[in-house]
């Protein structure tokens, strides 16, 4: 979940904050906005790899 995402609603049943519970997953926060794959690709990749249980110490930045 991107901490700077303001494109989706943050209240009500359709809030992006309710997505993890609806999916039955534990949320992982990452810096960035709605377009994190474009604005923060390395940080997003690190957060995804960490959430998947990979050892990110072996990953080198591009």
How does pLDDT run across 21-60, given as a tens digit for each residue? 888 888 777 777 788 888 888 888 888 888 888 887 766 6
How much is the pTM?
0.56
- What's the confidence (pLDDT) of residue 30? 75
- What's the confidence (pLDDT) of residue 11? 79
CA distances 54 to 35, 45, 49, 59, 62, Å, are 23, 11, 5, 9, 17
Q: Where are the domains of the chain?
A: 1-62
- What's the confidence (pLDDT) of residue 60? 62
- What's the confidence (pLDDT) of residue 57? 73
- What's the confidence (pLDDT) of residue 59? 61
């Amino acid at each position: 979940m991107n901490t700077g995402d303001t494109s989706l609603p943050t209240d009500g049943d359709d809030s992006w904050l309710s997505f993890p519970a609806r999916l039955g997953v534990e949320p992982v926060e990452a810096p960035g906005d709605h377009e994190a794959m474009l604005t923060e690709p390395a940080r997003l990749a690190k957060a995804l790899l960490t959430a998947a249980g990979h050892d990110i110490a072996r990953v080198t930045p591009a």
